[in-house]
Chains A and B, each alone.
Chain A
């Protein structure tokens, strides 16, 4: 089975600074999808950014970008110009191309933004 590892249970960043959250995964598949989800204290999970494994170009969504290293099976999230509203639990997730809506999630990284 696929596994997703987030080795940083907690991270903190000063407001307006940049922070990088790490994620590694294990799979024998060549085609898959990777995601970062954000879970604010209200607990509703929302999608931050997605990456298709067949695309070499790293995905970017405004202040959020990823560093996708397929050979190393690494998928880190960079948050630039951090804002107080970025404080949340962040989950890295993997989805095979063929498993419907079955995602494999990491254990999460709790991000604190310091004013």
Chain B
């Protein structure tokens, strides 16, 4: 069974540009959540999608947005990139939101974004 797949794995952008990251969850998983990981800050929750609806949103500016498609694949977009957006962006999937109480979030390997 394929795991969570994130693309691209690495990308470099310049300030002011925008970027779109993609996440394909494990087959059958309908909940997708996104996290930003930076050194010293740990993982910060961005948002969660289930059945194409955003269920939860973290404390990030409106430049960060996302969506989920009918096949459960998700994308997140960051517009007007800033230097501080450089981070590892992790996607995690689960069968359903409530499944998280078992800890069964399955993470991808992440997309490493560098903003110059």
Contact = CB atoms under 8 A, between A and B. Distances in A.
B100 A103 contact: yes
A7 B104 CA distance: 25
Given A43-B88, A45-B107, A47-B104, A101 B48 contact: yes
B110 A100 contact: no
A100 B31 contact: yes
B110 A101 contact: no
Q: Chain B: interface residue count, which band?
A: 20 to 34
B102 A44 contact: no
Query: Taking chain A's interface residues, is the majority helix, strand, or loop, or is none over half, making it mixed?
Result: loop
A64 interface: no
Nearest to A33: B101
B42 A101 contact: no
Contacts of A105: 35, 42-44
B45 A104 contact: yes
B42 A108 contact: yes
Interface in B34-56: 35, 40-45, 48, 50, 55-56
B115 interface: no
A44 B109 contact: yes
Which among A4, A50, A100, A105 has the highest number of chain B CB atoms within 10 Å?
Answer: A100
B101 to A, nearest CB: 5
Given A35-B103, A46-B107, A95-B100, A107 B41 contact: yes
Contacts of B44: 105
10 contacts: A6-B42, A45-B107, A46-B107, A91-B43, A93-B43, A100-B97, A101-B56, A101-B94, A103-B105, A106-B42
The 5 A-B pairs with the shortest beta carbon distances in the complex, nearest first, are A100-B97, A45-B107, A50-B103, A105-B43, A107-B42
